[in-house]
Amino acid sequence: MNMFSSSLTVLVLLVIGYSIFSFFRIQGLIRESQMLVRGSVPYQKTTTPEAPKVLFVGDSTGAGVGAPRPEESLAGRFGAEHPDWNVDNLSVSGRKTAEVLPVLKSLGTEQYERVVVQIGGNDITHFTDTIMLEADILAVLEEAKRVGRRVTLLSCGNVASALLFPRPFAFLWERRTLLVRDMFMRAASKQGVTYVDLYRDKKTDPFFLEPYRYHASDLFHPSGEGYGLWYENFKKSTVIKP
């Protein structure tokens, strides 16, 4: 066996070994994520019937999956900073953008001072058809404006920063993140709602630079500190006072 053949054999073995390692590692992190979902309770708060109301609706990030306590989610931080507000939360883990629309329609004549839509992460990771997704987010924002006097849209940060995914394929998730980000920004502009941009290039992204601090134990969802970073961006992007 010549040197080239030996090198090729070693390379193939390394690829196979890395693939097996990645498979079992990802399966373990997925199980960890499922445990976080089962243990998560969306933050909600009721003060008085006449108090201003905010609605959080979306996916697992809206439900605060990964935060040690509901109070550390975006909804929880909003509730703590605005003790006189009622906070409703209709977020469900695993939800895609299209699935938010019937939730908003089911509210009927219910009216909110603010509606915060947290969605898009599952559309990134599950490769939702882009034509359908663009129509879905426009419809969701239109319906959100019907039930809320002011609407804010958040998606997720840079999915490529999550250590759940194998590093050699991170560029695929970054391209997908940017595609959905651009689409959501256009939709928000078209519908006249506020878009909170959570995307950061990996060179400056705290979730990439300090992944074990800002990610939860599944290395995918934000930790309590991760949600804290998102909330700071939320506050900078939108006026919260009624």
HEC letters along 13-74: HHHHHHHHHHHHHHHHHHHHHHHHHHCCCCCCECCCCCCCEEEEEECHHHHCCCCCCHHHCH
Q: Specify whether the CB–CB gap between 32 and 217 falls below 8 A.
A: yes
pLDDT of 111 > 90? The answer is yes
Q: Specify whether the CB–CB gap between 230 and 174 falls below 8 A.
A: no
pLDDT of 92 > 70? The answer is yes
Distance between CA atoms of 32 and 42, rounded to whole angstroms?
Answer: 18
pLDDT at 242: 39
DSSP-derived 3-state class of residue 129: coil
| Mean pLDDT for all residues in the chain | 88
The dihedrals phi and psi of 80, each to the nearest 5 degrees, come to -70, -35
pLDDT of 180 > 80? The answer is yes
pLDDT of 173 > 70? The answer is yes
Q: Which residue has the higher pLDDT, 7 or 38?
A: 38
**Could you give the percent of the chain with pLDDT greater than 90?**
70
pLDDT at 35: 81
Low-confidence winner among 22-26, 80-84, 103-107, 238-242 (lowest mean pLDDT): 238-242
pLDDT of 170 > 80? The answer is no
pLDDT band, very low/low/confident/very high, at 25 (cuts 50, 70, 90) = low
pLDDT band, very low/low/confident/very high, at 241 (cuts 50, 70, 90) = very low
pLDDT at 237: 78
Q: Which residue has the higher pLDDT, 94 or 28?
A: 94
**Could you give the percent of the chain with pLDDT greater than 70?**
83
